[in-house]
């Protein structure tokens, strides 16, 4: 009986963080990470503690956590290592769920902000088209508002395209 209780407690009290993480909080951490290094460090720690195996969106945000580290790194080798790690993880997330607008939006954000010399800009137009077509069907109002703001402010969208996000 005692063994059964111990097993029960282990199974039901050690649920993975991915099952309990609030996506709105995750997005807040992500956007805070773009403001300063200490927030980026906290975001990376958070994402390293998340079980990403069950949710490609969490995997995408883990990739973004590495991208943020690349943004704040001074050493060019560390910067490139973090960038490549983040790129690989984001691409894995997209392979797991290519129809997820949030993951495609994350990649669009990265590709529209990294230097062209890094060679990570090949999906900008495809992602922009995908986001534009899927945005109106999106039920998540927080994500819809974040995408709208970004796309309206983006230099990648012309005035006609920006009208789709208003």
pLDDT digits (tens, 9 = 90+) for 54-111: 799 999 999 999 999 999 999 999 999 999 999 999 999 999 999 999 999 999 999 9
Residue 136, SS3 per DSSP: coil
- For the entire predicted model, the pTM comes to 0.85
Band of residue 20 on the pLDDT scale cut at 50, 70, 90:
low
């Amino acid at each position: 009986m005692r063994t059964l209780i111990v097993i029960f407690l282990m199974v039901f009290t050690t649920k993975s963080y991915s099952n309990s993480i609030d996506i709105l909080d995750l997005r807040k951490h992500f956007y805070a990470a773009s403001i300063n290094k200490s927030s980026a460090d906290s975001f990376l720690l958070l994402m390293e503690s998340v079980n990403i195996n069950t949710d490609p969106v969490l995997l995408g945000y883990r990739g973004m956590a590495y991208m943020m580290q690349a943004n704040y790194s001074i050493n060019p080798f560390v910067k490139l290592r973090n960038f490549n790690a983040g790129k690989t993880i984001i691409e894995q997330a997209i392979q797991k769920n290519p129809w997820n607008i949030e993951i495609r939006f994350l990649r669009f954000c990265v590709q529209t902000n990294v230097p062209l010399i890094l060679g990570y800009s090949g999906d900008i137009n495809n992602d922009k088209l995908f986001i534009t077509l899927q945005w109106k069907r999106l039920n998540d109002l927080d994500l819809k508002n974040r995408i709208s703001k970004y796309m309206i402010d983006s230099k990648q969208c012309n005035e006609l395209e920006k009208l789709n996000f208003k």
